[in-house]
Amino acid sequence: MLEIEGLTRRFGGKTAVDRVSLTIPSGQMVGVIGRSGAGKSTLLRMINRLTEPSEGSIRYDGVEVTALRGKALRDWRTRCAMIFQQFNLVQRLDVLTNVLVGRLNHRAGFMGTMGSLVKRFSAEERAMALMALDRLDLADQALQRADTLSGGQQQRVAIARAMMQEPKVILADEPIASLDPRNSKVVMDALRDVNKRDGITVLVNLHHLDTAREYCDRIVAMQAGRVMFDGVPEELTAEKVREIYGVSEAEFQEAAQEAV
């Protein structure tokens, strides 16, 4: 269980995330929605400790994440995989090596030796990477360079890489914002699959309300750093959207889309 309490982040005079409290049971798929600047990315980045909180607490299974240092912090980051809008693959390397990079989280200074990297992994790790790729329907692309893949394929490689970390939690920050509808569906289906089949908790920032409604067990809507709504998709009616944002859903969607 992930317990967030009074979580706050200020940047100078600006409060990006403002006293957010959320209790997320293991295995839940949570969609975080809100306009650009609402604090969605900062919230996810604090959970992974890429951004340090100004105040508040984050506990995972009773352990205070904000207090972790050194190896314990690196271990947490391994258990808590991030997926980004821009995939963040090493473009000149093949797909399999990119996936194996997911095993390296705890090893320091690996970038300089990337060329001969594949040989450093055990047969088990390579088999595990191939299985992850197969599951994401990318086994045929394993030896292709990352830069030959479509955006949707690259994001699936990023998910396979995340799976190599054997995470408890996946934090996906606008994972489909750069993708067309068909690829968006493939990537969201993949996230749902790891959530449902592996029981991995998924927190996903989304700008499409409909996508959040379709895929998520729970929707958290943020505005100006605060949680304005937290409930099941059925509760997030068009009237509710208007109440929260003071605009119609269509207008909200337009504003959210401009951000990307």
Ligand X SMILES: Nc1ncnc2c1ncn2[C@@H]1O[C@H](COP(=O)(O)OP(=O)(O)O)[C@@H](O)[C@H]1O
For residues 59, 53, 158, 196, the Cα torsion angle rounded to the nearest 10 degrees is 30
From the CB of 51, what's the least distance to ligand X, in Å? 7
> Distance of alpha carbon 76 from its chain centroid, rounded?
15
- How far is residue 125's CA from residue 128's CA, in Å, rounded to a whole number? 5
SS3 of residue 203 by DSSP? strand
- Counting contacts by CB under 6 A, is residue 154 touching ligand X? no
Residue whose C-alpha is closest to residue 159's, from 188, 180, 183? 188
Residue 9 or 40 with smaller CB distance to Mg ion: 40
**Using the rule CB under 5 A, is 42 a contact of Mg ion?**
no
Q: Is 41 in the site for Mg ion (CB under 5 A)?
A: yes
Residue 172, contacted partner among Mg ion, ligand X, none, CB below 5-8 A by kind:
none
* Cβ neighbours of residue 43 closer than 8 Å, sequence gap 6 or more: 7, 17, 20, 32, 222
State the DSSP code for 120: G
Q: Draw the binding track, 16-45, toward ligand X (x: CB under 6 A; -: no contact).
A: x-----------------x-xxxxxxx---
Candidate ranges 39-47, 149-157, 181-189, 246-254; the one touching Mg ion (CB under 5 A): 39-47
Q: Say whether residue 86 binds ligand X (CB under 6 A).
A: no
Q: Least distance from C-beta 245 to ligand X, angstroms? A: 13
Residues that bind ligand X (CB under 6 A): 11, 14, 16, 34, 36-42
Residues that bind Mg ion (CB under 5 A): 40-41
